[in-house]
Amino acid sequence: MSAELRPVSLKREGDGLKIEWSDGVVTTVAWRKLRANCPCASCLEERSKPADPFRILTPQEVAAGAPAPVAMAPVGYYAYQIKWNDGHDTGIYPLELLRKLGEGTDV
């Protein structure tokens, strides 16, 4: 990804995030996919383990329902931090990751 490639605008669209990029590409990523790909250390650790068939949802997850952002703010010049409705907020999504997750969604 070239260093110049950057988002021009980001907005909620339906149940996902629509990003217009400086190269004209428009990507849309579902919130569910973004939540499932949270790059924080504890989520990475969780994903590296074999899936637990008996995993019990936390009360916060049950109360929150489908993943949705409560807040999303830029971090420096390179990433966005998403605060989720289940209370999770340690994921900092670099621009490269946001672009990669949206690949193939340009129309």
Partner 1 sequence: MNPQMPPKLSLPGVKQVIAVASGKGGVGKSTVAANLAMALRMSGHSVGLMDADIYGPSVPIMFGLGAVNPQTTPFPIEKFGIRLMSMGFLVSPEQAVIWRGPKVAQAVQSFLAQIDWGQLDYLIIDLPPGTGDAQLTLSQSAPLTGAVIVTTPGEVSLIDARKGVKMFGEVRVPILGIVENMSYFVDTAGNKTPIFGVGGGQKLATESGVPFLGELPIDPRVAECGDGGEPIVRKYPDSPVARAYMTLAQVVADAANRPNAGALPQVQL
Residues that bind partner 1 (CB under 8 A): 3-4, 6-12, 17, 40, 69, 71-81, 89-90, 92, 94-95
Nearer to partner 1, 4 or 52 (CB): 4
Dihedral angle, C-alpha 55, 68, 13, 9, nearest 10 °: -110
Nearer to partner 1, 17 or 101 (CB): 17
Interstrand relation of 26-30 and 92-94 (parallel, antiparallel or unpaired): unpaired
Residue 100 is encoded by which pair of tokens?
Answer: 């990669």
Least Å from the CB of residue 64 to partner 1: 16
